[in-house]
Chain A
Amino acid sequence: MTESQKHSIQTTEGAPVIRIGALQWVKSNLFNGVFNSILTIVMLFFLYKVIPPFVKWAFIDSLWLSSAAQCRTVNGACWSIIPANIRFIIFGFYPHELHWRPFLAMIMLVSLLFYSKNRNHWNKYFGYLWLAGLFIMGLLMKGGLLGLTAVESDQWGGLPLTLMLSFFGMFAAYPLGVLLALGRRSKMPAIKTICILYIELIRGVPLISLLFMSSVLFPLFLPEGLTINKILRAQVAIILFTAAYIAEVVRGGLQAIMRGQYEAAESLGLNYVQKMRLVVLPQALKIVIPPSVGILISAFKDTSLVVIIALYDVLKTTKATLANPSWMGFSPEAYIFVALIYFLCCYSMSNYSRRLEKELHA
């Protein structure tokens, strides 16, 4: 068929457009039948019972900038707990007068992530930019150079700690997971067995027990006097844990790629690394964007489990605030605030993944 023939086949008539009014829409969508009508009425009643009281509590009767004592006199929400304790919730035990440093580090991390969203920016200097950024962030957190006061890592906490654990967790776990997935599909029995053992062992154990092992068991095996930073140990546990899950998701993607793709790549003379990097992985990883992001999101939330080895992430600092006698009892307000922080991060991630899928037209 020639090009011109193809064009003449296309229909000139558009699909019929149906216009309906609002009332018609309500009738056909909410009250089309007895069951749906009852359901609509029940839902409306439920919303009536829940929303007005919540609005009254959260916005009308609430206090935003008051003392704890004033809060006790009203019935509404005491949002004052947030501004009054914001610095402790966000930065934990980091020295008070140095809070600008972790703040700046967080701003840098978030801006770098935003900058990286646009894949046109991924050029030669992109890697150097990240390296420089990470170095400066580390310097800001740790200090001890260029006249910055040194801050030991056991004073780190709050949101910077949460962001750090999840950021490094994800970015180290992903490549490790890909390698494990490739290893599990390898034809070499030794590599295959090691990868299967690793994946199944890690997946068979809850993250909490890995964290415990990293903080309680692991130091027992180290020689006297040698200690490894607690945050680093938790970080490694999170990476190892997340990688095992990523590996299984990526393996699923690899299995979805037709044998013909491997054969076409091989018949061109590409070697194993080239075949995987140029032909197979780009397709497989694209397929598994939704489940991988799901794993990364749950990894982000799982960082809150580091409380059990006495690290103060943002959830733990909130809890600690609530332990203060004057603010005791305002936990709904505090937890809503932390939930919003978590939601904001997770929602940005899933939003970005959707955009990425569309860009790559997966």
Chain B
Amino acid sequence: MTVDMWKKVPVREQDPKVRAANFDEVCLGYNKEEAEAEAQRCLNCKNPFCVQGCPVSINIPGFIARVKEGDVAGAYEVISQSSALPAVCGRVCPQESQCEGKCVRGIRGEAVSIGKLERYVADTAREMGIKPTVTAEKKNKKVAVIGSGPAGLTCAGDLARLGYDVTIFEALHKAGGVLVYGIPEFRLPKDAVVEKEIENVRALGVKIETDVVIGKSVTIDSLMKDEGFEAVFIGSGAGLPRFMHIPGEQAMGVFSANEYLTRSNLMKAFREDSRTPIMRAKKTVVVGGGNVAMDAARTALRLGSEVHIVYRRSEEELPARKEEVEHAKQEGIIFDLLTNPVEIHADENGWVKGITCIRMELGEPDASGRRSPIPVEGSEFYIECDAVIMSLGTSPNPLISSTTAGLEINRRKCIVADEANGQTSKAGVFAGGDAVTGAATVILAMGAGKAAAKGIDEYLSSL
């Protein structure tokens, strides 16, 4: 295979027309030949900027060098030292703004396709039956991890490698957090990928207890006092969905993206034989421009709906990953940009029949540095639709903060934790991920889980 050193080896994808009607994975990944060809493009820099761009500091040139030699097991071992979820990260990380964003190749051409190579290594290792290994001696110290999403799994995996006795408590009936309830099958296959990554974390000795809502079923104080946990990591995720508080939001057919995605992903409502219902709309308006909005829109599309994304700023400000926006467009999702809803209308039976929106224009930059959208007076217009999905982010869930004495929260009600080691205001209690930052990305949560594992190890070693 000849390699154009300036360009990425293209990755095979399902045809947009075909995939718009199924829930199979969109990206098909590299095969051996493609991966080894792409690996040739890595310059193996002495001072690798890509590693600095990675929130969990994977030795990127190190694993790519092994891919080049055809040593997948070796490459997997290198990645495993830094990441417990490579098959996930290879799929959902925003590489363009992290590792690949820093790649020297990217200065004059295209960056090395690090994400796709990571995915290739993780997928191939799984097919070969390679499992991560634990070498550390058992420490006989119990650590509780709250939440089995990316932050929790990473923290638990790292602590288990250090020899700690780790139990993850998960509120839902299935482990995985946002990887299971939030990110759709077509972006992250559940049985083939997520389930296997969680099995790998279990293989390190981590126990997972599902159906436990911390703050309700048991409190953090009780875990430490009565159940012998010497440290606790809170990785409980983002929380309650936000709504716009506009007229008509209670109409039937208005959903939060969380509800819509949970029904489809966790409860498998996209399958015809699922016991959990989901609305199969004719025309859906998704409000918001983040990755979650793209996921909800592309799910609605696959369930047979025409889909419009309504976002108040312009394309440039869309918070979603470029790749997700591109995929959504290819599949036929219509973007109504610089548009904001003002009222949802219901028919005489209470079902959504349309939404009134107003055109926006961009003004001066606001606190976030983005130009703030301003309504254009008199520009209201009507979009007929039978479903509206609100994807406006989340506000923190108070279940843990309100039941844990001495746990400081900030003005936005997020848990206050030291970025370097996850330490909270309460001794022995650490936190990271969306519970601390508000809704962010899988890899940032993993980075926080990783930092907290180190913090917990230092704390317990100092006792």
Bound pair (A, B): no
